[in-house]
Amino acid sequence: MNLPKGFLASGVRSGVRKKRPDLALIVSERDASNAAAIFTKNRFSAAPVELSKAALRRSGGRVRAVVVNSGCANAITGPEGTRAAARVRQRAADLLRCPPSEIFLASTGVIGVVLPDAKIRAALPDAVRRLSPGGIDAASHAILTTDVGPKVASATFREGSRRGRVVGFAKGAGMIHPDMATMLAFVMTDAAATPAYLKAALREAADSTFNAISVDGDTSTNDTVLLMASGRLGNEPLSAPADGEQFRRAVYDVCRELAWRIVRDGEGAGRVMEITVRGAATERDAKLAANAIATSPLVKTALAGGDPNWGRILAAIGRSGARISTRRVALFAGPVRLVAEGAPWPYRERDAARVFARERVPIIADLGAGEASATVLASDLGHDYVSLNADYRS
């Protein structure tokens, strides 16, 4: 797959990781692109997050290049970690002949280790030499940590008589929960759009995709989603909220596919719950209930075993803090009604077990308290999750 017009990418090995590619580079081919990003809300945000936030402010939402490393999060590393990240940024700026404020940084890996920036600075010239429109394959591999494989998605849209593209790639498998997660995502388009418009479109898409997934209830120090627009499509720049309905849908579709792939690739995951909570008094209540189900170890382990143990689901809702009507609550597993009006429904166990044996298990809970709703994707929790995380730093 090629990137949208105006973008190049590459992926190389710098030596931060022992055996695999660990450095990705994305470049806006002609000059800096308009861009917008959203970041982790973790109070211990990593050095690259803080530097990239500040750079976007200084540049007015312009990004010439993105430097991404795996193998080291460079988080909770104090001034030394900030200086290491800044040296990488300066080296990239020198190579690409642009201001440092147009270099966007992202890192993923072990927390509490200062970035070995000399290795990355030494590898950057090779990354520049290898840049190509088809470099997304190498770049998407270079950012992985515990992921089973790369996550890439694309969509098309029409803007007037022109057909444009949105392409994105991401990483993430653990430390996944709303307010983002241990995830990085980079989405690019050839459309022309203002930074403010891109910010609104990205927030709109992320609210129901990246911020509606959960693997283990933890959020990371490094989470970043970046949207860049090269303007090579030649359309009148999108700027007003009503502009570019098809474009916004394409951004949403790419984010949704990447979010699904992240949850499906949850560390050791075998199944994914699609949890829809409806009949809530407010959207906040719906999200409280959905996230309680998504993060319940008892629900997640039952899912891993294919066991339709619906009592665990209702127990999670009951402790969530959401307002519910215990006399009106209902619960479904796909088309199978499990609970109605707060009491067990006479369903057939084998029918429920058949739904819970699917790769994607739809759970619908009606709180009987209003009209609001929310949907969250969540993985199961099995033995492999413990195995992967028990020796993550080795």
> For residues 73 and 115, what is the distance between their CA atoms, to the nearest angstrom?
7
Residue 182 annotated in active site: yes
Cβ pair 173, 153 in contact under 8 A: no
Q: Which token pair is 202?
A: 């990205």
Contacts of 394 (CB under 8 A, 6+ apart): none
> For residues 172 and 262, what is the distance between their CA atoms, to the nearest angstrom?
5
Contacts by residues 348-355 (CB-CB < 8 Å, ≥ 24 positions apart)? 349/308, 352/308, 352/310, 353/306, 353/307, 353/308, 355/308
> For residues 287 and 111, what is the distance between their CA atoms, to the nearest angstrom?
29
> For residues 219 and 75, what is the distance between their CA atoms, to the nearest angstrom?
13
Give the DSSP letter of residue 112.
Answer: T
Contacts of 57 (CB under 8 A, 6+ apart): none
> For residues 275 and 362, what is the distance between their CA atoms, to the nearest angstrom?
6
Listed residue (161, 256, 244) closest to 211, CA to CA: 256
> For residues 292 and 20, what is the distance between their CA atoms, to the nearest angstrom?
37
Handedness of CA 304, 310, 315, 320 (dihedral sign): positive
Pairing relationship of beta strands 65-72 and 103-110 according to DSSP bridges: parallel
> For residues 385 and 273, what is the distance between their CA atoms, to the nearest angstrom?
16
Catalytic pick among 182, 209, 221, 224: 182
Q: Which token pair is 308?
A: 């339709």
Cβ pair 73, 110 in contact under 8 A: yes
From the number of C-beta atoms within 10 Å of its C-beta (0-12, 13-18, 19+), residue 311 rates as middle
Pairing relationship of beta strands 336-340 and 330-333 according to DSSP bridges: antiparallel
Active site (catalytic) residues: 182
